[in-house]
């Protein structure tokens, strides 16, 4: 068994970078801090690749399964005798895979940002936050127990908050960051409650013992039941709530579009490739528990995922802000991954969905990061987010154009590009285990192809907008990541994923089922075709369609008014209908009561002042009469 204890460095290096740059960043030249950050991540990335190599090729499997290796573990906080929070590093197929994803994309983003963020004030701050995020994300990925995961879960939340609010003088950015934090926080409440129940019933946080197929956790699964579902199911549904929040699943997705207020590299890193898939990763982590002791929970995952993907895809067709289109497509793709997990079963071939979902996570990270970075390059050139201000850019931005096209083809599921394989296997899994979802996903695949190519054509072809300063191709620091990721998104599909990742750790062989693949290809091509017809050239036909749909179109365009609902809940309900009354009640009732005590005392003392009239005779009268009255009273009281 090889020693993996060095892996603890992978998260720690970014942490040190964060502290260093964060404390001293304002003293050094911006570019220096940028380079420090990049180098830190480069080392982390190299370490992760090395780890992957070590784990998959130099670690012997025990009876053919990949072992979960506890590379490093230290007790951090003791709750009870049984419940204690550890901090550590857990090495297993998916964590290694996530290591690759996170470090790769993060490294690319670091490099990219050197060009993209040039001249921004607070450059150092940006890199500090990037490193903080990388640290938190790596910590989350390597978590040995669900509570450690929660800890880093919160940390990625806050780093995303900080990065979205990077332009803190822009009110929209501030409110967007606030929204993101609060919505995810609300989801995390569910997560926490889930952890509470789960840990109380299983008496452990630890993933290894939780997911141990014949361990206490899973066997006690069918514990007491509540509203018809077992406690285990409830806890897992709550946990999934947290995942849904981070992964922007319906209805907790509202923060994701606004999160695009952050700098584009941030969107690429956090809101496309890594943080938003944390939810998927969480479910995957607990997959055995879901699959064996809470299949209903898994069903919830499937339906939520499927619906979100449809919902998002529909909205994406109508948006004009290119980053928002990408945001919704992200949401939709994550929906796919959730579906993959949802329709999967535990073990062997039945675990295809699990593998596929992880596979899709991997490929998606690559091409979606590519898309965002490309969009960044475009925005960098055009200084606008809206595709209305774009068109015909292919002349100006050749590299960006090519890479963007590759990404679009990939996501559209054009054969022999990476997403083709991964998406196809998700569809296969759905096909085998859940027909309705399969149909929905098939339709979504078409939509995806459509809106991606709508985007592509609107940007690079369509009308020839003339720009009052001609857009120019981005510097090498920005184009290199594009090229790298393009290559990655072309070829990452050829990794024999099922050899490495599987629900039970046992490698199995899987090849595509053309019965599923053919239709999906066709659907994709149809989508592209429609987009081509509508948007290749400037034409009013798209408008016509929009008008013909009327109110429905408007509803879609306004994202089905979910933001309005959010505003209503926060502003109206919480602010006006709860907090104000509470504050009023506190001031006037509770405090008023306390004051009224004092007031009454004063009033009484004013009332009785006549008692002290200054008349000796009255004094004498009171004296004698009270003496006599007391006498009588006590004689009667004690008369024998």
| Min CB(615)–another protein separation in Å | 6
Q: Residue written as tokens 């995810």?
A: 184
The rounded distance, in Å, linking the Cα atoms of 105 and 628 is 98
- Are 276 and 270 contacting, i.e. CB atoms less than 8 angstroms apart? yes
The rounded distance, in Å, linking the Cα atoms of 607 and 466 is 87
CA nearest neighbour of 311 among 290, 339, 279: 339
| Min CB(256)–another protein separation in Å | 18
3-state secondary structure of 203: coil
Q: Which is nearer to another protein, 223 or 519 (CB)?
A: 223
CA separation, residue 561 to residues 254, 315, 320, 323, 546 (Å): 10, 11, 17, 19, 18
Q: Which is nearer to another protein, 46 or 622 (CB)?
A: 622
| Min CB(80)–another protein separation in Å | 5
CA nearest neighbour of 268 among 113, 448, 389: 113
CA separation, residue 533 to residues 295, 445, 501, 568 (Å): 44, 18, 40, 40
Q: Which is nearer to another protein, 66 or 152 (CB)?
A: 152
The rounded distance, in Å, linking the Cα atoms of 130 and 547 is 43
Q: Which residues of 104-137 are buried (b: 16+ CB within 10 A; e: fewer)?
A: bbbbbbbbbbbbbbeeeebbbbbbbbbbbbbbbb
Q: Which is nearer to another protein, 164 or 356 (CB)?
A: 164
- Two tokens at 77? 């906080």
Q: Which is nearer to another protein, 181 or 484 (CB)?
A: 181
Q: Which is nearer to another protein, 494 or 623 (CB)?
A: 623
| Min CB(481)–another protein separation in Å | 30
**Residue 69 DSSP symbol:** E
- Two tokens at 3? 């020693």
| Min CB(262)–another protein separation in Å | 14
| Min CB(369)–another protein separation in Å | 27
| Min CB(271)–another protein separation in Å | 19
- The phi, psi pair for 145, rounded to 5°, reads -145, 160
Q: Which is nearer to another protein, 435 or 578 (CB)?
A: 578
Strands 225-226 and 229-230 come out as: antiparallel
| Min CB(14)–another protein separation in Å | 14
What is the biggest distance separating any 2 CA atoms in the chain, rounded to whole angstroms?
Answer: 119
From its phi and psi, is residue 85 left (phi > 0), alpha (psi between -120 and 50) or beta? beta
| Min CB(576)–another protein separation in Å | 9
| Min CB(118)–another protein separation in Å | 21
The rounded distance, in Å, linking the Cα atoms of 395 and 473 is 10
| Min CB(584)–another protein separation in Å | 9
- Are 320 and 387 contacting, i.e. CB atoms less than 8 angstroms apart? yes
For residue 47, count CB atoms less than 10 angstroms from its CB and return exposed for 0-12, middle for 13-18, buried for 19 or more: middle
The rounded distance, in Å, linking the Cα atoms of 332 and 254 is 13
């Amino acid at each position: 068994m090889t020693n993996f204890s060095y892996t603890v460095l992978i998260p720690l290096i970014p942490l040190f970078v964060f502290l260093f740059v964060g404390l001293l960043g304002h003293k050094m030249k911006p570019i220096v801090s940028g380079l420090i950050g990049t180098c830190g991540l480069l080392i982390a990335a190299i370490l992760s690749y090395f780890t992957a190599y070590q784990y998959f090729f130099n670690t012997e499997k025990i009876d053919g399964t990949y072992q979960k290796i506890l590379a490093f573990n230290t007790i951090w906080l003791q709750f009870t005798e049984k419940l204690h929070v550890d901090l550590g590093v857990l090495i297993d197929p998916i964590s290694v895979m996530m290591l690759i994803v996170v470090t790769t994309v993060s490294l690319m983003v670091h490099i990219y940002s050197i060009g993209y963020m040039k001249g921004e004030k607070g450059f150092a701050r940006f890199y500090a936050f990037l490193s903080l995020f990388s640290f938190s994300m790596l910590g989350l990925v390597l978590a040995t127990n669900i509570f450690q995961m929660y800890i880093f879960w919160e940390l990625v939340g806050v780093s995303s908050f900080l990065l979205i609010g990077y332009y803190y003088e822009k009110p929209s950015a501030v409110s967007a960051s606030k929204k993101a934090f609060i919505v995810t926080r609300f989801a995390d409440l569910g997560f926490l409650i889930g952890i509470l129940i789960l840990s109380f019933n299983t008496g452990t946080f630890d993933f290894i013992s939780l997911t141990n197929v014949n361990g206490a956790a899973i066997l006690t699964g069918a514990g007491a039941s509540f509203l018809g579902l077992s406690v285990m199911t409830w806890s897992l549904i709550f946990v999934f709530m947290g995942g849904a929040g981070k992964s922007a699943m319906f209805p907790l997705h509202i923060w994701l579009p606004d999160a695009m207020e952050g700098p584009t590299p941030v969107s690429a890193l956090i809101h496309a490739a890594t943080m938003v898939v944390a939810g998927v990763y969480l479910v995957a982590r607990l997959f055995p528990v879901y699959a064996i002791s809470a299949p209903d929970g898994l069903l919830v995952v499937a339906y939520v995922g499927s619906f979100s993907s449809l919902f998002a895809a529909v909205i994406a067709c109508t948006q004009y802000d290119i980053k928002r289109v990408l945001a919704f497509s992200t949401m939709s793709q994550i929906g796919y991954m959730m579906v993959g997990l949802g329709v999967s079963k535990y073990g062997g071939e039945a675990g295809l969905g699990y593998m596929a979902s992880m596979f899709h996570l991997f490929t998606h990270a690559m091409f979606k990061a590519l898309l965002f970075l490309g969009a960044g390059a475009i925005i960098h050139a055009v200084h606008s987010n809206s595709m209305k201000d774009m068109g015909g850019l292919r002349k100006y931005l050749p590299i960006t154009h090519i890479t963007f096209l590759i990404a679009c083809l990939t996501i559209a599921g054009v054969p022999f590009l990476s997403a083709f394989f991964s998406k196809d296997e998700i569809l296969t899994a759905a096909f085998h285990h859940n027909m309705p979802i399969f149909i929905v996903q098939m339709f979504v695949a078409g939509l995806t192809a459509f809106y991606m190519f709508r985007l592509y054509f609107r940007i690079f072809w369509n009308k020839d907008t003339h720009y009052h300063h001609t857009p120019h191709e981005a510097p090498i620091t920005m184009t290199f990541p594009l090229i790298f990721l393009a290559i990655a998104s072309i070829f990452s599909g050829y990794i024999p994923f099922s050899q490495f990742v599987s629900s039970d750790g046992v490698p199995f062989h899987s090849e595509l089922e053309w019965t599923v693949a053919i239709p999906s290809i066709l659907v994709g091509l149809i989508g592209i075709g429609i987009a081509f017809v509508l948007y290749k050239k400037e034409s009013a036909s798209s408008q016509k369609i929009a008008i013909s749909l009327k109110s429905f179109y408007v509803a879609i365009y306004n994202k089905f008014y979910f933001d309005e609902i959010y505003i209503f809940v926060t502003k109206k309900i919480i602010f006006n209908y709860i907090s104000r009354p509470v504050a009023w009640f506190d001031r006037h009732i509770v405090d008023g009561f306390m004051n009224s005590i004092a007031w009454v005392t004063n009033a009484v003392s004013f009332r009785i002042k006549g008692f002290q009239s200054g008349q000796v005779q009255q004094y004498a009268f009171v004296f004698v009469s009270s003496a006599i009255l007391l006498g009588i009273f006590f004689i009667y009281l004690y008369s024998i």
